[in-house]
Amino acid sequence: MDETVYLAALNKCFHGNWRIAHNLLQCMGQAETIFSSGAGTLRRLLPGQDTAVQLLTSGQAVEEAGREMELCRREGIEVISINDDEYPSRLAETPDAPLILFKKGCRRLNGSRFLSIVGTRHCTHYSKKYCDMVAEYLSSLRVKPVIVSGMAYGIDSYAHQSALRYGLDTFAVTATGLDTVYPASNRILASKIEERGAIITEYWTGTTPFAQYFVSRNRIIAGISDATVVVESRIRGGSLITARAAFNYDRDVFAFPGKLEDESFQGCNMLIAEDIARLVTGPGSICRALGWSQERGASGRRGRDISSLSEEKKAVLKTMDCGEGMDAAQIAACCRKDVSQVSFLLMELEFEGYVRHISANKYVSLI
């Protein structure tokens, strides 16, 4: 039988106790060896864990894992073990990484940049705006990050939608089996994510939503990403669990601040106050902290000489030097020029390769 089947069985036996599973693997070398070991050997390795020993020696877990692998093949679900090259390398570095992941979608699970965006399910109108701001900015980078979230109500859904709107790949980490879309209202979104990214889970088919599973999946969201951004959170919430997991994995954490009296942002403010998260002043501040801001612009023409440009064009480019996307009205206000004049200058600068039109009438400088 394939080693992947034994890893799936081992993951099932020790769900919630992944470190024990990892320790057993380190000691025995292969998952198959663990299941073929006698009860005496396993009792010495797992003192006081008679239930676990019984699971490992009964053969039932391996039989169930074999049936699950066959079901996944029929349903087009890819099964990825921690031994596979396809397994997310960042997640593999964490001490409680799942031994098996199940995946639906077209995109591979490794890449150069991954950013998780999380927050409350009961969010304010600011949330969608912030998600769009981040996705819009990231879409202007030459190396575009993958947006990771949990496909839940609220911020998670907004994060995926914003990523898709601005042409970014996105991963959804779910707390159910891949035969279940939760919430059901996200069926269309799930299909779009599969087309432009991937949906992944550690749970077998038939697994339905359970509160503890959402807590567990948050560590995968944190572990698969270079950094985590908390858009909005009250003093308690799953996004704070994700943020703390990321912090414990030595990953960067960012949070959008709110007014002291605003309960919707008390969790974000607390993360900042406890030095777990950096304060976000705009999407550019996230990228600068991660070292991503120097690579803006698909043409990679930063550092171009502007001495031959007119003073009006130089003034526009100087105004845009902050690195954030700006529209013609914002630039006109800073330059004290007419909006129509600035719009014409931007059109010429884009044609000449000095700026790039990203979306919603906003431009970024390429120099």
For the stretch 70-114, pLDDT in tens is 999 999 999 999 999 999 999 999 999 999 999 999 999 999 999
Q: How far is Cα 365 from Cα 362, in angstroms, rounded to an integer?
A: 10
Q: How far is CA 326 from CA 137, 179, 203, 330, in A?
A: 11, 43, 43, 6
Q: How far is Cα 27 from Cα 324, in angstroms, rounded to an integer?
A: 51
Q: How many C-beta atoms surround the C-beta of residue 250 within 10 A?
A: 8
Q: How far is Cα 275 from Cα 255, in angstroms, rounded to an integer?
A: 11
SS3 category, 111 = coil
Please state which of the four CATH numbers 3.40.190.10, 3.40.50.720, 3.40.50.300, 3.40.50.450 is assigned to the domain occupying 114-293: 3.40.50.450
Q: How far is Cα 108 from Cα 225, in angstroms, rounded to an integer?
A: 14
Which residue's structure tokens are 């992941």? 101
pLDDT the model gives residue 322: 59
Domain ranges of the chain: 3-75, 114-293, 311-365
Residue 339 has pLDDT above 60, yes or no: yes
Q: Of 134-148, 149-163, 332-346, give the lowest mean pLDDT range.
A: 332-346
Q: Of 144-158, 215-229, 285-299, 332-346, give the lowest mean pLDDT range.
A: 285-299
How many helices and strands in the chain, by DSSP H and E? Answer: 17, 12
pLDDT band (50, 70, 90) for residue 298:
very low
Please state which of the four CATH numbers 1.10.10.10, 3.90.950.10, 3.40.640.10, 3.10.580.10 is assigned to the domain occupying 311-365: 1.10.10.10
Which residue's structure tokens are 């057993």? 24
State yes or no: cis peptide before 183, omega within 30 of 0.
yes
Which residue's structure tokens are 């997310």? 88
Q: Of 53-57, 121-125, 234-238, 350-354, give the lowest mean pLDDT range.
A: 350-354
Taken in order 236, 154, 246, 325, the sign of the CA dihedral is: negative
pTM, 2 dp: 0.80
Q: How far is Cα 223 from Cα 239, in angstroms, rounded to an integer?
A: 14
